[in-house]
Homo-oligomer: A and B are copies of this chain.
């Protein structure tokens, strides 16, 4: 049994830094690197790509909405064509910066509000992923397990990696619980590790009330910008390994070949 650990990276911009990239890169196996629209700039990307290559971590493009001030977290009503093009553009830029650093982009994961919108809107997800696949037919699409993202990527016959969230509780319909509800965000590293282990063994998302929703689980999302992110990542890494789970990059098996 195996699983990948992923986290967002390279979220600085110009003079501003964010996150504990250097520490997290020692724990994770896949890095989602911002591409300049919601965070990141060519210099920040060059550094982030180099760090990822040095740590042997799988590189992902992490395209977002064109909203630096809002960090790509504010929903924008963009057209399907615009979504397609902005994902393609950012993926191309990420490929170039990865190549400059001696690496290459293995996967793509949508960021922030774009990810949230695509998790609920299969047509939008398809527009984004079509843009990515037009640039690289073999890229692995990292999707939020059980959402419109997964359906869109499967429908396109793409290589996929399905993710669940380490520190977020799931509602009974398999969606993330609203952050504002009590218990929606989990904090205790040990119980988080136990819960993830349970999900991996069950091959299912386990909801707040304990229901098992069968799900493909290839990777676990760690948040890099919260307090205690590095400690949580380490605990999870250690806990899973101790339980016999191998922590390694996903393969991105094509959806139709499962």
User: What is A's interface to B at a CB cutoff of 8 Å?
Assistant: 12-18, 36, 39, 41-43, 45-46, 66-71, 74-78, 81-82, 84-86, 88-97, 99-100, 113, 131, 134-135
Contacts and interface: CB of A to CB of B under 8 A. Distances in A.
How many copies make up the complex?
4
Contacts of A96: 88-89, 91-93, 95, 135
Contacts of A100: 84-85, 88, 131, 134-135
Given A43-B85, A88-B100, 8 more contacts: A13-B13, A16-B17, A43-B81, A75-B76, A85-B97, A92-B97, A95-B95, A99-B134
Contacts of A81: 43, 46
A66 B95 CA distance: 20
Contacts of A42: 82, 85-86, 88-89
A243 to B, nearest CB: 35
A84 B46 CA distance: 10
A14 B68 contact: yes
Contacts of A86: 42
Contact of A13 (B16, B91, B113): B16
A41 B94 CA distance: 16
Kindly name the residue among A13, A81, A100 whose own CB sees the greatest number of chain B CB atoms within 10 A: A100
Contact of A89 (B15, B16, B97, B135): B97
B97 A93 contact: no
B134 A69 contact: no
Nearest to A101: B134
30 contacts: A13-B13, A13-B16, A13-B69, A14-B68, A14-B71, A41-B69, A42-B89, A43-B69, A43-B81, A45-B89, A46-B81, A66-B69, A67-B76, A68-B68, A70-B76, A75-B77, A77-B113, A88-B96, A88-B100, A89-B93, A89-B96, A89-B97, A90-B93, A92-B97, A93-B93, A95-B95, A95-B96, A99-B134, A99-B135, A100-B135
Nearest to A46: B85
A14 B86 CA distance: 13
